[in-house]
Amino acid sequence: MHLGSEYLGDGTCKFALWAPLVKHVAVHIISPKDRIVPLTRDKWGYWYVKLIGLEPGSLYCYQINKEVEIPDPASNYQPYGVHGASQVIDHNDFQWSDMQWQGIPLEKMVIYELHIGTFTSEGTFDAVIPRIQELSSLGINTIEIMPVAQFPGERNWGYDGVYPYGVQNSYGGVNGLKRLVNSCHQQGIAVILDVVYNHLGPEGNYLWGLGGYFTNKYRTPWGSAINYDDAYSYGVRKYFTQNVIYWLQEYHIDALRLDAIHAIYDCGVRHILQEISEIVAEFSQRDNRKRYLIAESDLNDPKILLRSSGFSGYGIHAQWSDDFHHSLHSLLTGEKQGYYEDFGSLENLATAYTDTFVFAGNYSTYRKRYHGSETIGCESSQFVIYAQNHDQVGNRMMGDRFSHLLPFPALKLAAAATILSPYIPMLFMGEEYGETAPFLYFTSHSDARVVEAVCQGRQEEFEAFHTQGEIPNPQAIETMIKSQLNWEQRHQDKQGILWLFYQKLIKLRSQIPALASLDKHKLGVKVIHPQKALRLKRSYGMNQVIYWMNFNQQNITVKEILPNGYWKKLLDSADTQWGGDGSAVNHILIGNIQQELVLGPYSIILYESQEKMAS
C-alpha cells in the first residue's frame, strides 16, 4: 500500500492512510473543487480511495472520525507549513538528466556536511547549486544535507521534522531538492540525506492521534518511542521503510544518514535497521546502482555494521565514529568537561587510528560503566570521522567552531589529522576556510508551549556555563542569521591559505596509493613523549608514507631512523606557503640514518618513499 497521495496520471490520484484505531476516515479535497470522499478500510487498518478529476497541486486533508481534520502524515509537500493542507505531487513531471550517474563508492567519499538554511544567505536548495563547482574544486565528491523533512516555521536544524515524506517548503520544496541532486550528479557529486527515524518533532506531529505509531514501552529524550516492536508495529515499520525507498527512488539520493540510531528501540526478532538494510540492498540491485546507509550511534557496537554468514548484525554500510572526534578535540583544546572527560591523551588518538573505537569494552569514567566492543570484522571504509560536525559545534552554548578555539597552525593540524586518516573524512561547512560565524541552535516554532519548553531547556542545559555569556535565543531570527556562512571569506588572507591547505590534503589523499587505501591494518602509529607528537606510517604495496604530527605549542625535535631508501617531503604545514614561519626539515631524507626533525608548533610533515633519489 503506497502511503499518502499518489498521482497516477490522467487526473487520477490514489490516497492511503494507515490508521488502524480510528472508526472513519474521509479525504477532504479543498481545492480546486471542495468535496469530501470516504475512504475504505482493509483488515490491516489501511484506508484508501482512488479519485478521478484531480490534478497535481490539489490541496487536501484527512477527516478523522467525522470530527477533526488533519494534514496527511505521509504528505509529499506542505506548502502552508505543518498545520496547513497537504498538496498532491506528480513525481514524474521532473526531467532528470543524471541517468548515466553511477555514484561514488563509499571508500572514495570525501563528505561535506551542510545545512541548507545557513549555507547561503538565501537558505534554499537552488542557492546551493552555484557553489557545487567550488566544492568540487576543493576535492569534495559528496555532500551530506542535514534533514529537510518539513518542520515548523522556516528556521530549524531539521531534527524537529514532522513530515518524513515532505520536503521543507522554505528551502524550495520538492523540485528544489530534485534540482540540487540533479545538479550535484551532473558535476560528479554524490548526495547523502540526513533522515530521522528515532522521533518526530513536538509541533505538527499528527501521527499521535492515529494510534499505533508510538509506544510507552521505551522512553527517548523526546518522549515516547516510535513503535517498532509493540502491537500494531507492522504499519509503523511500513511507514518508515517506505520512506527509505521514497528518498532513493523519487529524489535519486545516494545514501541516507540515519540519525541517532541508539534511540531506535526494537526488541523484535528482525530489527528495523536490519529490515531497512535489506530493502536498500534489494533496491540497489533492482536499480543497478549502489545505495548506502550511514548510521549515527554512540554505542560503539560493530553489530550495526556486520551482516554476513560469520556475523549477526544489521548490515548498515557505515557509521559515524565520535571517538576520533573526541580524542582530537580534547587533545587540541584541553577541554575535559562532559564526555571529553574520557579523552585528551595522545594514546587516545593513536587508538582511534589503529582500533577505531577508543572504548571497545573498557571502562568509561564519564559513563561510569564499561562501554563498547572491538571492531573485529569491520573495514576502515565503514567509519566516517570528522574534526567538526553540526552536533559538536552546534551543541556548544555559543556554537563555537575550531576557528574560535584554536590558533591557525592547529586548524591545519586538525585538517591533516582527519583527511590523512584511513577512514572516510567528513568536513562541516565552512571548516575548510576557518569560518568565523558560529553555528548556533535555532528554531521557529509557533506553539507558545513548545517555544517556552525549548528556551527553558537550553537555559537548564547550560546553567553551569553562564559566565560565558547569555545563551542565544533559539527563536530569534538573528540567531539563525549569525549562523550563516560568510562565503566571501574563503579566499581571503589566512582563510584562503587554509582553503588551499585542505585542497592539498584531499589531493594527496586521492593521489598517493598509501593514503588512498583505507586499511587501518596497514597503519602503524607511534606515540612520541615528551615531545607530544604522533608518527604514522601507512603503506600500500611498495608505496609508503610517514608523517609526524606535533600537538605541542612549541617547536619540537624528534629523532628517527627511517626505513631504507629515499624519502621525499610532500607536505610541511610550517612552510611559508601554508602561512607558517618556514620549515626546518630537509626536502629529502635518507633511510637507515638517524635524522633529527624539527617540527613547528601544531605542525605536520609528510614524506613518501621514493625508488630513487628525487631530483
Query: Is residue 553 included in any domain, yes or no?
Result: yes
Query: Is residue 247 included in any domain, yes or no?
Result: no
Q: Does residue 307 surpass a pLDDT of 90?
A: no
Residue percentage of the chain with pLDDT more than 90: 92
pLDDT average, residue stretch 22-27: 97
pLDDT average, residue stretch 519-532: 96
pLDDT number for residue 304: 95
Active site residue 69: no
Last-in-domain residue among 41, 61, 93: 93
Q: Does residue 615 surpass a pLDDT of 70?
A: no
Q: Is 575 annotated as a binding residue?
A: no
Last-in-domain residue among 93, 123, 151: 93
pLDDT number for residue 452: 87
| Average pLDDT of the chain, as a whole number | 95
H-helix segments, 512-610: 513-516
Query: Is residue 201 included in any domain, yes or no?
Result: no
CA 208: distance to chain centroid?
28
Q: Does residue 131 surpass a pLDDT of 60?
A: yes
Q: What is the pLDDT of residues 326-337, one digit of tens each?
A: 999 999 999 999
User: Which residues sit opposite 258 in a β-bridge?
Assistant: 195, 295
Give the CATH number for residue 576: 2.60.40.1180
Q: What is the pLDDT of residues 226-236, one digit of tens each?
A: 999 999 999 99
| Residue 478 parent element (H or E) | helix 477-482
Q: Is 129 annotated as a binding residue?
A: no
Residue 209: pLDDT band (50, 70, 90) is confident
The CA dihedral of 374, 375, 380, 381, to the nearest 10 degrees, is -140
Give the CATH number for residue 34: 2.60.40.10
pLDDT number for residue 294: 98
Active site residue 259: yes
With contact defined as beta carbons under 8 Å apart, do 512 and 545 qualify? yes
Domain extent at residue 43: 4-93
Query: Which of these, 555, 557, 564, lies nearest to 528 by C-alpha position?
Result: 557
User: Which residues sit opposite 50 in a β-bridge?
Assistant: 14
Q: Is 322 annotated as a binding residue?
A: yes
Query: Is residue 540 included in any domain, yes or no?
Result: yes
Q: Does residue 465 surpass a pLDDT of 60?
A: no
Query: CB neighbours of 284 closer than 8 A, spacing ≥ 6?
Result: 290, 291
pTM: predicted TM-score of the whole model, two decimal places? 0.97
User: From its phi and psi, is residue 65 left (phi > 0), alpha (psi between -120 and 50) or beta?
Assistant: left
Q: Does residue 311 surpass a pLDDT of 70?
A: no
DSSP class per residue in 168-208: PGGGTHHHHHHHHHHHHHHTT-EEEEEE--S---SSS-TTG
Catalytic entry in 250, 254, 275, 296: 296
Residue 466: pLDDT band (50, 70, 90) is very low
Number of domains into which the chain is organized? 2
pLDDT number for residue 464: 57
- What is the number of other CB atoms lying within 10 angstroms of the CB of residue 170? 18
Last-in-domain residue among 33, 67, 93: 93
Q: What is the pLDDT of residues 34-76, one digit of tens each?
A: 999 999 999 999 999 999 999 999 999 999 999 999 999 999 9
Which amino acid, 292?
A: Y
Catalytic entry in 6, 72, 229, 259: 259
Opening angle at CA 463, ends 458 and 468, nearest 5: 95
Q: Does residue 241 surpass a pLDDT of 70?
A: yes
Query: Is residue 352 included in any domain, yes or no?
Result: no
Residue 455: pLDDT band (50, 70, 90) is confident
Query: CB neighbours of 377 closer than 8 A, spacing ≥ 6?
Result: 302, 306, 310, 311
Q: Does residue 27 surpass a pLDDT of 80?
A: yes
Q: Does residue 611 surpass a pLDDT of 80?
A: no
pLDDT average, residue stretch 236-265: 98
pLDDT average, residue stretch 265-273: 95
Q: Is 512 annotated as a binding residue?
A: no
Find cell 496520471 and name the residue.
Answer: 9
Query: Is residue 199 included in any domain, yes or no?
Result: no
Query: Which of these, 346, 291, 348, lies nearest to 321 by C-alpha position?
Result: 348
Q: What CA–CA distance (Å, rounded) separates 390 from 408?
A: 21
pLDDT number for residue 463: 64
Q: What is the pLDDT of residues 213-226, one digit of tens each?
A: 999 999 988 889 99
Query: Is residue 551 included in any domain, yes or no?
Result: yes
Find cell 528556521 and name the residue.
Answer: 155
Q: Is 390 annotated as a binding residue?
A: yes
Query: Is residue 351 included in any domain, yes or no?
Result: no
Q: Which residues of 496-508 are buried (b: 16+ CB within 10 A; e: fewer)?
A: ebbbbbbebbbeb
Q: Does residue 467 surpass a pLDDT of 70?
A: no
